Amino acid sequence: MSDLYRSALSARISKLPDLPPSNDDEEDDESEEAADSIGSLPGNEAVQVSVASRSLDCRVYYTPPAFADGTVMICHHGAGYSGLTFACFAKEIADMTKGKTTSTSEKPDEDLSIDILTADLIEVIQSVFPDPAIAPSLLLIGHSMGGSVVVRCCSILLGREYRVTGVAVLDVVEGSAVEALPHMHTLLNARPDGFSSIEDAIEWHVSTNTIRNAHSARVSVPSIIVPDPKGVLPYTWHTPLRSTAPYWMSWFKGLSSTFLQARTARLLVLAGTDRLDNELMIGQMQGKFQMAVVPGVGHMLQEDDPTRLAEIMVEFWRRNDRVIVGVKKVGDA
């Protein structure tokens, strides 16, 4: 983040009401991170993970398990969003028991196919936990496009001897996602090309019910827009979603079968009961996965109701993390 952008962000943040409380005990570098994310976030280790093989430099906020044989929840955001979409959810998880990622390559991130996204996440996980034998068990959580990434990562991680307690997909199924693809350009055309301020970007997300939780919007929205000195408006989208159109089909094709074949506990969390495709309907009747519906939320359910999602995820983890030998996990065939 440039000094100019940081100064502008700090000035605008100060005008926003009801901001999350800051932590006066943070070190100087941590206070900068808090300013970047609009308030304190859970996690007592902020790590910059360099993944040279993928030309990535990833900011990871990591709270180690409270005990040696604990579980780490790994969250992957959807298209166009950032890791901060899980900020409020992560805080709820911490109460119950930031992500900045940039490319180090000189070339732009032109290939965003599912294979590339999956390889990126695998390498990040291996960089944080290089030895599967001493790594904690992993609970993989992915929202929307991120759900496709985590289900594909599951078999790879298991094949490399990592322990995967379960995989959770948030509000995406193959059938409805593929059906919606022809309408994506129309939906994107309805979005503004940019914003005159960070406050305007937050207000747009809340007023359009894109994010229904204003507190979460204040945390996550600043991370998905960037200064645009050459644009008509001062801020534009960090990820130009129209340019990712060639990869949309790869993100979702085969998602349902890959999810059902995952050799671990499976959880599907939806914002509505009408979103199952035929393959998942059959799988549900056969008891192949657990399903939960969060009422009163939109597609960004992890932001709209982070408390309820945290309750669901903690319950799912507790049911599947310590399974008696010979007893199948929830979702096992």
109 is catalytic: no
Is 171 labeled as catalytic in the residue annotation? Answer: yes
pLDDT in tens, 72-92: 888 888 787 777 788 888 888
- The CA distance from 229 to 205, in Å, is 22
| pLDDT given at position 13 | 38
Quote the pTM value: 0.77
Dist CA 256 CA 239 (whole Å) = 26
Q: State which amino acid sits at residue 99.
A: G
Catalytic residue among 144, 216, 220, 223: 144
Catalytic residue among 171, 200, 304, 305: 171
Choose, from 143, 215, 299, 304, the residue flagged as catalytic: 299
Q: Give, in order, the Cα–Cα distances in Å from 5 to each of 30, 108, 118, 228, 254.
A: 17, 21, 31, 10, 41
pLDDT one-digit tens code per residue, 177-191? 999 999 999 999 999
299 is catalytic: yes
Higher pLDDT, 62 or 99: 62
Considering only CA atoms, which of 222, 217, 180, 238 is closest in space to residue 303? 217
Say if CB 277 and CB 301 are below 8 A apart. Answer: no
pLDDT band at 52 (very low <50, low <70, confident <90, very high): confident
| Alpha helical stretches, state H, 197-277 | 198-207, 214-220, 248-252, 255-261
Tell me the average pLDDT of the chain: 81
